[in-house]
Amino acid sequence: MTITTDPWADLDTDFSEQPEIAGEQPEIAGEDYTPAATDFQPTYFETCKKCRGSGQFVSWGGRRLGECFACKGKGGHTRKTAPEVRAKARENTAKRAVATENQRVATAQQWAEENPTLHAWLIARADRSDFAMSLLTGVRKYGRLTDGQFNAVTRLVAEDAARDADRASERARIAASAPEITVAPLEAAFASAAASGKPARKVRLAQFVFTPAKANSANPGAIYVKTTGDDYLGKIVDGRFARAFSTPVEVEAEVLAVAADPRAAAVAYGFETGNCSCCGRFLSNPESVALGIGPICASRFGW
């Protein structure tokens, strides 16, 4: 028995003469192989700004509470784009946003210049009207109104203009027919208070409160008339009492009587309420109680 170390010695097959396998065989990259640009994609690692590369979430007390939620414990982010390229892209995005905002503002301003009446109406009513505020917001965002919105605002502006004209006409009619009032005693009382160094802001006479208008108000020189409950009754202008629409004629007559003799009305107010009509304080001094008015206030108003 012969033992051989070659297990293939008894085989008659000659592997060197095996037929070639049909089809093209892939070439193996050798020293002359040049990889394409797409065969290699560079990456860039950026340190996580949340955990500063530690990959751990650290509390204010210094305790490690687990992996960083931003980088998932990796300590950073792998990007396919270089940091300077990404920074430039962010810069360009910011520039486009600024340009878009400037264009939006310019478009809205152009609309306002082309439609000054409508724009002024929206501005005036935006604080008290949700409808006007929404339209004004739309103009500032889109630079215009839709056709339906434009027509609606045009109609409302016309209605308000007609209403204002009617009110102005009614006010002129009331002013023309307003009764003349003797305001000399009342004006003299306010002038005396101003000369004393302590100008009077108001004076209570009967159930009315008379307040002189400020010099920079819409009605300088006028005297406003209200109830003690702060309800507006009208104003005294150029020697006439222009009552409000809601003021009854009977109340108008009482205002005229009080303004004609303010001292008597002040004393009557003191006797009725127990308070000084000028400063509103309680009359506790026997002299004040007897006079129906504080002596200091009486002196200040020339009464």
- pLDDT (0 to 100) of residue 39: 59
134 — pLDDT class (breaks 50, 70, 90): very high
Across the range 237-265, mean pLDDT stands at: 83
pLDDT digits (tens, 9 = 90+) for 184-227: 788 788 888 888 777 777 888 878 888 888 877 777 878 899 98
Query: What's the Cα-to-Cα distance from 302 to each of 189, 193, 194, 296, rounded to whole Å?
Result: 6, 8, 11, 10
- pLDDT (0 to 100) of residue 174: 60
> Does 2 have pLDDT greater than 50?
no
**For the chain, what percent of residues have pLDDT higher than 70?**
83
Q: Please, what's the b/e burial string for 177-189 (b: 16 or more CB within 10 A of its CB; e: otherwise)?
A: ebeebebeebbeb
Distance CA 254, CA 91 (A): 74
Distance CA 298, CA 303 (A): 5
Q: Which residue has the higher pLDDT, 145 or 9?
A: 145
Q: Six-digit token pair at 42?
A: 């560079």
- pLDDT (0 to 100) of residue 135: 92
Distance CA 270, CA 204 (A): 10
Domain regions of the chain by residue span: 44-80, 85-172, 184-300
Among 272, 263, 229, which Cα is nearest to 283's? 272
Q: Is 179:241 a contact under the CB 8 Å cutoff?
A: yes
Residue carrying structure tokens 């409000």: 244
List of long-range contacts for 198-204, beta carbons under 8 Å, 24+ apart: 198/300, 200/278, 200/300, 200/301, 203/262, 203/266, 203/277, 203/278, 203/301, 204/228, 204/266, 204/269, 204/277, 204/278, 204/280
DSSP letter at 217?
A: S
β pairing state of 56-58 and 203-205: unpaired
Across the range 249-274, mean pLDDT stands at: 85
Query: What's the Cα-to-Cα distance from 122 to each of 94, 115, 119, 152, 166, rounded to whole Å?
Result: 31, 11, 5, 12, 21
pLDDT digits (tens, 9 = 90+) for 46-99: 899 888 888 898 887 878 888 998 899 898 888 888 888 888 999 999 999 998
Q: Which residue has the higher pLDDT, 201 or 178?
A: 201
- pLDDT (0 to 100) of residue 157: 92
